[in-house]
Amino acid sequence: MFSLPHRSPRDLPFTRDHTALLLVDMQRAWLEPQFDAHLHTQEAEYFIQRARQQVIPNQQRLLNAMREAQHNVLHTHIESLTADGRDRSLDHKLSDMHLPKGSPEAQIIAELAPLENEIVLPKTSSGVFNSTNIDYVLRNLRTRHLIVAGIVTDQCVDMAVRDAADRGYLVTLVEDACATYTEQRHLACLNAIKGYCWITDTDTVLARLQEMQP
C-alpha cells in the first residue's frame, strides 16, 4: 500500500498565477464500453469502477476549484491530426491505436468537457510532452506547479509526470484522481515515480488551492 501524505521535497505551496491542472486522456474511447471491447472484460471491472466512482468525481472537484479561482486548465487526449492517422507515432501504428480527428471516441467525456477558453492538446504518443507543444504553452502561462491527474496511471500519466519533472516543473500527482487496470499496477507506478513528483490526494490539493500564495 502506498502511504499518504508522501514526503517529498516537491511538496511546496502552490503559487497564484503559476499553477495549472493537466487532465490526461479522460476520453470516451477508454471510458465508454461501446468504444472499447476491453471494458466488457472482467479485468476492466476494477478500472471502470474506480474511474466512475472515484476518479471522475475527484477530477470534477479539481476542475471546479481551478475554474472558480481562474487558474489554468489543460486537457490532453489521444487524437490523430488526420482522418487516416498517417501522422501517428510509429508506436501507435504498431499498436493499431488510431482515434481519427474529430471522431466521437476521441472526445473528452461529457463530465469533464473543456470550457471554451481551456487548452486542449491532442497527442499521438503516450507522452504529452513528446507529441504536443505543451512545454511551450506551459512556459507561456508562467507555470511552475503542474497538478496531474488522469488515465492510465502507469502509462500516459506516468510519462507526463516524468517528462514534466525533467523539464523543471514541480509536479503534483493526485493519486485518487488516477486509475489503471489493477490496484497492483497503480501502486507499483506510484512507488516508481515518487522521486519525480509529490503524490497526494484530492482533498489535500483542494485545501492547498484555497491556501494558495499570491
Query: Is residue 2 in a domain?
Result: no
Query: Is residue 188 in a domain?
Result: yes
Query: Is residue 133 in a domain?
Result: yes
CA torsion angle 111 37 51 161 (round to 10):
-100
Residues 135-181 pLDDT 10s: 999 999 999 999 999 999 999 999 999 999 999 999 999 999 999 99
- Residue 37, pLDDT score: 59
Query: Is residue 166 in a domain?
Result: yes
Query: Is residue 12 in a domain?
Result: no
CA atoms of 85 and 5, how far apart (whole Å): 42
Answer yes or no: is pLDDT of 62 > 80: yes
Domain count, the chain: 1
Query: Is residue 109 in a domain?
Result: yes
Answer yes or no: is pLDDT of 214 > 80: no
CA atoms of 97 and 111, how far apart (whole Å): 24
DSSP state of 33: T
Query: Is residue 78 in a domain?
Result: yes
**Average pLDDT of the segment spanning 52-62:** 98
The CATH number of residue 60's host domain is 3.40.50.850
Which residues span the domain enclosing 87?
19-212
Residues 187-206 pLDDT 10s: 999 999 999 999 999 999 99
- Could you tell me the three cell numbers for 81? 491530426
- Residue 8, pLDDT score: 92
Bond into 174 cis (ω within 30): no
- Residue 34, pLDDT score: 79
Residue 181 CB partners (closer than 8 Å, separation 6+): 43, 44, 46, 47, 152
Query: Is residue 115 in a domain?
Result: yes
Could you list the beta-strand ranges (E) of 18-89.
19-24, 72-78
Q: Tell me the β-bridge partners of 172.
A: 147, 198
- Residue 40, pLDDT score: 65
